[in-house]
Amino acid sequence: MYELYLAPSTAGFAPHALLREIGADFSLRFLDVEAAEHKRPEYLRLNPLGKIPVLLVDGRPVAETGAILMLLAERHPDAALAPAVNTAARQDYLQWMLFLANTLHAGLIPYFYPARYTADPEGADGVKRGAERLAGQWFAHVEEAFSDGRPYLLGETLSAADFYLFMLARWGRHFEAKLSSQPRLGEFMQRMFTRPSIRDAFAAEGTTENFF
Ligand SMILES: N[C@@H](CCC(=O)N[C@@H](CS)C(=O)NCC(=O)O)C(=O)O
């Protein structure tokens, strides 16, 4: 049994949608971010860094979005959301998952919390613009990967990486330079959006805002 701590449209979205895609037995625990519920001692006991999301696996907490996604894919091999160990596809999967976690996700954080990344009281806007510029380059790298017409990040087969990418690319809807202008990424987003798991996750999170 899984219990996912999340807040709407945060990094909890990808694990949330993946749980639905797998058809796992889970419950959702929505945190009140305005009330800083994720900084309270009860939550810090689950994740001392106070970051969302956390997944309880039979009561044991796991944090870090990429780790949660990989763990879920691994625990549910029948859902075939991660290539088998020692295959060429696994190599690509690991590379994309780490790129999404280490580069794209980590690089988007300064966009959303720019003041944390500067000691200059006037510097937040510059940090935000710089983060958007870098993210634009990384999304261009993703667009390039899709240039061979592949439907999913790994090729013909859907994987956990697609849920991660979908979530991160959706955050780009705030950018001045819209990601929807990247045609292949746009097609990917539409393709993912048709999945019941994604639509149901949006509905459960109460998200009505444009998804991309
Ligand atoms: N490295 C973490 C980052 C998670 C993260 O930054 N989550 C955001 C919500 S999207 C959060 O908890 N923000 C609250 C804060 O940083 O105070 C992960 O991959 O899960």
Enumerate domains of the chain plus CATH numbers: 2-79 (3.40.30.10), 88-195 (1.20.1050.10)
Local confidence band at 35 (pLDDT 50, 70, 90 cut-offs): very high
To test the ligand 1 pocket, which listed residue (34, 52, 98) has its Cβ within 8 A of the most ligand atoms?
Answer: 52
Please state whether beta strands 2-6 and 60-63 pair in parallel, antiparallel, or not at all (unpaired).
unpaired
Q: Which atom of ligand 1 is nearest to the CA of 105?
A: 19
CB crowding 101-117: b at 16 or more within 10 Å, else e: beebbebbebbeebeeb
Is 159 touching ligand 1 by the criterion CB < 6 Å? no
Report the mean per-residue pLDDT for the chain: 96
Residue pair 76/24 in contact by the 8 Å Cβ criterion: yes
Instruction: Determine the pLDDT at residue 208.
Output: 83
Rounded distance from Cα 52 to ligand 1 centre (Å): 5
Rounded distance from Cα 50 to ligand 1 centre (Å): 8
Instruction: Determine the pLDDT at residue 147.
Output: 96
How many degrees, rounded to 5, is the angle at CA 199 between CA 30 and CA 172? 80
To test the ligand 1 pocket, which listed residue (39, 51, 109) has its Cβ within 8 A of the most ligand atoms?
Answer: 51
Mean pLDDT check: name the lowest of 122-126, 179-183, 195-199.
179-183
Whether residue 212 has pLDDT greater than 80: no
Q: Hey, whose CA ends up nearest to atom 17 of ligand 1?
A: 51
Rounded distance from Cα 51 to ligand 1 centre (Å): 4
The proportion of the chain whose per-residue pLDDT surpasses 70, expressed as a percent, equals 99
Q: What are phi and psi of 186, to 5 degrees?
A: -60, -45
The torsion angle over the Cα atoms of residues 97, 105, 15 and 155, rounded to 10 degrees, is -40
Instruction: Determine the pLDDT at residue 195.
Output: 97
Instruction: Determine the pLDDT at residue 209.
Output: 72
55 beta partners: 4, 62
Whether residue 211 has pLDDT greater than 80: no
Across the range 70-87, mean pLDDT stands at: 98
Whether residue 73 has pLDDT greater than 90: yes
Whether residue 160 has pLDDT greater than 90: yes
Across the range 43-49, mean pLDDT stands at: 98
Q: Which atom of ligand 1 is nearest to the CA of 68?
A: 20
Instruction: Determine the pLDDT at residue 27.
Output: 98
Instruction: Determine the pLDDT at residue 180.
Output: 79
Is 115 touching ligand 1 by the criterion CB < 6 Å? no
How many degrees, rounded to 5, is the angle at CA 70 between CA 66 and CA 72? 120
The proportion of the chain whose per-residue pLDDT surpasses 90, expressed as a percent, equals 94
Is 11 touching ligand 1 by the criterion CB < 6 Å? yes
Instruction: Determine the pLDDT at residue 19.
Output: 98
Q: What is the C-alpha to C-alpha distance for residues 161 and 92, in angstroms, rounded to an integer?
A: 10
Local confidence band at 178 (pLDDT 50, 70, 90 cut-offs): confident
Is 161 touching ligand 1 by the criterion CB < 6 Å? no
Q: Hey, whose CA ends up nearest to atom 14 of ligand 1?
A: 51
Instruction: Determine the pLDDT at residue 89.
Output: 97
Local confidence band at 177 (pLDDT 50, 70, 90 cut-offs): confident
Is 64 touching ligand 1 by the criterion CB < 6 Å? yes
Whether residue 116 has pLDDT greater than 80: yes
Local confidence band at 179 (pLDDT 50, 70, 90 cut-offs): confident
